[in-house]
Structure 1
Amino acid sequence: MRVKRFAFIAFLGVLMMFLGIVHFTWQESLLDLFLEIIHSTAYFAIPKWISGSLWFGTGLAVFLLGLRWMNRSMLSAITDPGSVSKQVYIRRRLEAGTRIAALGGGTGLSRVLRGLKAETANVTAVVAVTDDGGSTGRLRNSFGVPAVGDLVDCLAALSETEGLPELMEYRFQRGDELKGHTFGNLMLVSLSELNGDFAHAMRRANQVLRLRGAVWPASFEAAKLWAERSDGTRIYGETALREQPGRLVRAGLNPSGVAAMPEAAQAIQRAEIIVLGPGSLFSSVIPSFLPQGIQAAIQQSRARLIYIANIMSERGETEGMDVFDHYQAVVQHLGRKPSVVLVNVAPLPEDILRRYKAEGQVPVRFTPAKFEGQGVKLITQDFLEPGFAQHDPSKIVKALMGLK
C-alpha cells in the first residue's frame, strides 16, 4: 500500500515547515553555518522572511500531499477511494432532504418507506398499532403490548444494515411456541420486557437498528379498534372487520383517550409533508391518527397533507366506496382536509382483476367531478406496480418529491 513511503514524504514536509519557522527565530550564534545554507543567502540576498515563508509553504504542501496519498492508500484496502466522496455526498444530500411524516400501516406504508429512504433521511413512519391477528395478536394477548407486526415491517424498510430486513421478517416455521412468530416481533417484545415499557423499547430499537429515518407507533398503549356500519352495528377488533361483507362509516379506539407516542407527534410538527396511506382505510390509515396528540399535531401543522387513495376496495371495510368517499372518511375522522390526493388511473390487467374479484375486491371507482369545489389538488397518473394491484413505490415517491 506504500503507506510508509507516503508517511516519509509527510515527515519531510513537517521538517521543511520546521526549517521555515527557524528562519523567523534564527540567532547568529545558533548553528550559523547550517542556517546559512538553509537560508539560501550565500549567493542571493533573499530576506529571511521570504525564504522562511518559502520553506514553510513548500513544507506544508509536501505534508498535505503525503497525508492525502497515505489516506487514499489506506482507504483503498477497504473500499474504492472514488466511492468515498460519493458516499459522503449521498449522505449529506439525504440528511438535507425533505422532512416527511408518513402515517398508516400494513404493507402499503412499508413499501412507500422503501422508496422515500432513497430521497431523504428525514422520514418518520407513524404506524397504526391496532392489529390483533396472527403473531401480533398472540403477542398482544400474552404481553399486553401494542401491535408489533407493522412496526417490524417499517423498521426493516428503513434499515441500512445489510441482511437485517431479512432477519427482522424471518418467520419461524416450527416449534409449538415459536411457529408463526417473526424474529422482529419477538425482538420488540423482548425489548419491551427488558426496558420495562413499550415506549422505551421503541426508542431503543430506533437507536440500535441503524435506520435512515425513524419509526414510531402512533401510541405506546395497546388500544383496541372498533368500527360502526351504516346500520349502527359496532364491531370490536381489527380482524373482525373482514369477517362479514359491508361498508364501515366510523371508527375509534377503546379506550378513547389513548395517548400518542411523543416522538411521533413531534415528527409531525416538524414535517414539511404529511402522507396518509396507502393502506386499508379503517384498519390502517385512520387508526394511525386517532390517538390524542397525533390528530392535534396534524390539525395544527402547516405541512402539506397528502392522501394516497387505495387502488382496490377492502372486504368488510370499504365495499361500495369510491375515492371521494375515502377522502370524506379521512376528513370526518381527522378534522382537516388533505390538500393533495394521489389517484391511480391506470387500468388493471384482467387476470389480476379476476383474482381480486374472487376475494371480494374490486377497483375503487374515481369520479373527478366529485372533488370540484373541495380545494384539493388531484394527481392522477399510473401509480401501478407492473403485475400487481398495488402502488409502485418509485412512482409514488417521484410524485411526492415533485410537490416540494
Structure 2
Amino acid sequence: MIHKPKIVVIGGGTGLPVVLRGLRDQDADVTAVVTVADDGGSSGILRNYINVVPPGDIRNVLVALSEMSPLELDVFQYRFKSSDQFFAGHAIGNLIISALSEMRGGIFPAVQELSQMMKIRGHVYPVANEPLTLNAEFTDGTKLSGEAEITAAHRQIKRVWVTTADGADGDQIQPVPEVLAAIRAADQIVIGPGSLFTSILPNLTIRAVRDAICESRAEVVYICNIMTQKGETDHFTDADHVRVLNDHLGQNFIDTVLVNIQPVPKNYLDFKQWNEISQPVGHDFQGLRDLGCRVISANFLRLKDNGAFHDRDRVVAELMNRLHQVHE
C-alpha cells in the first residue's frame, strides 16, 4: 500500500478553505484544524444564544473538502437576506452545525457526523470541543476580549491568548485528542494564510498544540498573507509575521515561508469592498533568513473581484513540491 502524505493545515477565516480546496484533489491525507474563537457575525450570534462553538469557519472548511453536488453546497452555504428578520444573516450551514452540536453533545462529534454526510475528503477537526475566547494585549498596555472587538479596535497588538468560559487558559485547555494525533503523524504542517492574530494564533496559543508542532519532525510551512490587515498587521513585512508566530511559540518553528512577489496593481483593489485590507505585505528576505526560514518567493497572486488572493493551484503545487523534496 502506497503511503499517502499526511498534511495538516491550521488556521481559520477565508484563507484556509482556499488552500484546502486545492489539496482536496491531491493524493494526500488532509486534516484541517480550525479555530473556535470566532465571535463575529452569524457565528457570534449563535454562540451567544445557544452557547455552541462558532460554526462559520468550520462550515467553510467542510464545503472546501466536500464532494457533494454544487446545488447541495449552495444550499448549505445559503445566507438569509437581512430583510428576513428572524434568520437575518444566518447561513443554513451554521444552523445545521449548531443543531448537530446540541444533538451530539459537542462540536467535535457533530462535525465528524456531518463530514460523513457531506462526503468530506479528509478530516475536519475543531481545535477544541468548546468555544474559546480570544484575548489581546495591545502595545499601549490595554487589553480586550473577543475576536470581533479586538479587530474593530484598530490598535497594534502585542500578544494574544485564548481562554474558556470558566477561565482556563492556553496552558490548561485540552485540545481535541485527534488534533494532537494528526499533528504528530503529519508529514507537512501548513499554517495560513489567514488573519495572523485572530485566525491562526488562537490555535497555536493552546500549549498542547504548540508543543506538538514544535516537537514534530514535519516541515512547517507558513503561507504568508499577500495584504496587511487593518488593526492587526499594519505595516508588517513577511518577516514580522514569522517573528510574531515564533514569539508566541517561544522558538523558531517555521521552516519554510511561501511569499508572493507578484506586485498588486494599485488601481485594481476596491478598499471599500475589502475594507479589512491595507497594503501589500512588505518583503524582508534577510529577516526571514535570520529567523532560520527557507524562503520560496514566486507569483502566488490571483486577482479576483477587485481583491488580491492566493492562487490556489500555484500554492498547492508548491506545497506538494516541498513534500516530494523533503521525502525523496
**What TM-score does the superposition give when structure 1 sets the normalisation length?**
0.73
| CA RMSD of superposed structures (Å) | 1.9
Aligned 8 A contact 1:226 1:236 in 2: yes
How far 1:150 moved relative to its partner?
0.4
- Aligned counterparts, 1:214-363, within 5 A: 214-254=123-163, 255-256=168-169, 257-336=172-251, 337-353=253-269, 355=271, 361-363=278-280
Q: Does 1:148 align with 2:70?
A: no
How far 1:360 moved relative to its partner?
6.0
Structure of greater Rg? 1
Q: Give the Cα separation in 2 of the matches to 1:142 and 1:106.
A: 22
How far 1:318 moved relative to its partner?
1.0
How far 1:169 moved relative to its partner?
1.0
Instruction: Give deviations 1:34-62, integer Å, cap 9, x for gaps.
Output: xxxxxxxxxxxxxxxxxxxxxxxxxxxxx
How far 1:283 moved relative to its partner?
0.4
Q: Give the Cα separation in 1 of the matches to 2:153 and 2:210.
A: 29
How far 1:359 moved relative to its partner?
5.8
How far 1:215 moved relative to its partner?
0.7
Aligned 8 A contact 1:99 1:123 in 2: yes
- Aligned counterparts, 1:58-207, within 5 A: 96-163=3-70, 164-173=72-81, 174-207=83-116
SS in 1 for 2:262: coil
Q: Give the Cα separation in 2 of the matches to 1:153 and 1:267.
A: 20
Aligned 8 A contact 2:271 2:277 in 1: no
Deviates more, 1:352-361 or 1:230-239: 352-361
The 3 A distance-change label for structure 1 pair 401 and 178 is: same
Instruction: Give deviations 1:267-302, integer Å, cap 9, x for gaps.
Output: 111110000000000000111222342222112211
SS in 1 for 2:10: strand
SS in 2 for 1:310: coil
Instruction: Give deviations 1:54-78, integer Å, cap 9, x for gaps.
Output: xxxxxxxxxxxxxxxxxxxxxxxxx
Aligned 8 A contact 1:353 1:362 in 2: no
Q: What is residue 284 of structure 2 aligned with on the other side?
A: 367
Aligned 8 A contact 2:11 2:199 in 1: yes
**Count of aligned pairs:** 311
How far 1:331 moved relative to its partner?
0.8
The 3 A distance-change label for structure 1 pair 207 and 178 is: same
Q: Which has the higher contact order (CA 8 A, sep 6+)?
A: 2
Higher helix share: 1
The 3 A distance-change label for structure 1 pair 198 and 353 is: closer
- 1:293 maps to amino acid: A
Aligned 8 A contact 1:313 1:363 in 2: yes
The 3 A distance-change label for structure 1 pair 177 and 258 is: farther
How far 1:161 moved relative to its partner?
1.4
Aligned 8 A contact 1:158 1:213 in 2: yes
Q: Does 1:381 align with 2:298?
A: yes
Higher strand share: 2
Structure 2 residues without counterparts, runs of 5 or longer: 324-328
Q: Give the Cα separation in 2 of the matches to 1:143 and 1:358.
A: 30
Aligned 8 A contact 2:238 2:288 in 1: no
Aligned 8 A contact 1:97 1:119 in 2: no
Instruction: Give deviations 1:214-270, integer Å, cap 9, x for gaps.
Output: 111111111100111111111111111222333212000123132211212211111
- The alignment-based identity, stated in percent, is 38
- 2:313 maps to amino acid: S
Q: Give the Cα separation in 2 of the matches to 1:360 and 1:116.
A: 26
- 1:199 maps to amino acid: F
Q: Which runs of at least 4 in structure 1 moved beyond 3 Å after TM superposition?
A: 356-360
The 3 A distance-change label for structure 1 pair 360 and 393 is: closer
Structure 1 residues without counterparts, runs of 5 or longer: 1-91
Q: What is residue 400 of structure 1 aligned with on the other side?
A: 319
How far 1:354 moved relative to its partner?
6.2
How far 1:312 moved relative to its partner?
0.9
- 2:257 maps to amino acid: V
Q: What is residue 45 of structure 1 aligned with on the other side?
A: none
Q: What is residue 326 of structure 2 aligned with on the other side?
A: none
The 3 A distance-change label for structure 1 pair 192 and 359 is: closer
